[in-house]
Amino acid sequence: MLEEMHGYYAGERTSAFVVMGLGGASVVAGSLLVAQSSDFERGLGVPLIALGAIEGLGAIFYAFQVNGEIRHYATTLDRDGGSYRREELGHLRGTTSRFVFYRLTELGLALAGAAMATYGFVANADAWKGAGIGVASIALPFLIIDTINNARAGSYDAAVRRFDPAENNVVSPLARANSPLYLSWSGRF
């Protein structure tokens, strides 16, 4: 189970770094675009800065949070598998419910961006074209990333649900101290 837990949280940490990179790149690109003279480029740059900064900052905080979660759940699993299972299932329930909100928000932003760009093309309004493309270009990658993250959370949730602490070896404190002698048992009563 420890391997499953580390695999899940390693994916979460990697995702945080990817989002951080995308957010940073969006802010830099948006800053360069806002400094240009055309309405299209400035319209494109503003949402890149705003949404990129929000996503990037959120990812920074999440990367630190993941490290704490790894330590917490590894310690809990080591001490009491039943407590780990109950606590992690509650945590995953909250995580997957937030993914619904995140993905709906990102889908809404992508659709709003498409509507803004469509209006811009119909009305020949360059700022609207740029803003719409900017909003959609930020929202779609994050929708894809959060869809992948949601699937990973679902797989991990299934693994935690299958986890039966009674079926796993219980190792004495001597084994944890790297002693060559240890006691263990496994099986069901």
DSSP assigned state of 185: E
Q: How confident is the model at residue 166 (pLDDT cuts 50, 70, 90)?
A: confident
pLDDT at position 167 is 74
Cα angle, residue 168 at apex, residues 14 and 165 outer, rounded to 5°: 80
Does position 184 have pLDDT exceeding 50, yes or no? no
Element (H, E) at 21: helix 2-34
Closest CA to 129 of 49, 52, 46: 46
Does position 28 have pLDDT exceeding 60, yes or no? yes
Instruction: Give the CA count within 13 Å in the CB-facing half-sphere of 142.
Output: 32
Cβ atoms of 61 and 147 closer than 8 Å: no
| Cα–Cα distance measured from residue 104 to residue 90, given in angstroms and rounded to the nearest whole number | 22
Helix, strand or coil, per DSSP, at residue 184: strand
| Cα–Cα distance measured from residue 137 to residue 156, given in angstroms and rounded to the nearest whole number | 29
Instruction: Compute the average pLDDT of residues 109-126.
Output: 97
Instruction: Give the CA count within 13 Å in the CB-facing half-sphere of 154.
Output: 9
End-to-end CA distance of the chain: 21
pTM reported for the whole predicted model: 0.79
DSSP assigned state of 179: -
pLDDT at position 177 is 46
Element (H, E) at 170: strand 170-171
Q: How confident is the model at residue 168 (pLDDT cuts 50, 70, 90)?
A: low
Q: What would the two tokens of residue 100 be? A: 């619904």
Does position 178 have pLDDT exceeding 60, yes or no? no
Mean pLDDT computed over every residue of the chain: 88
Cβ atoms of 91 and 80 closer than 8 Å: no
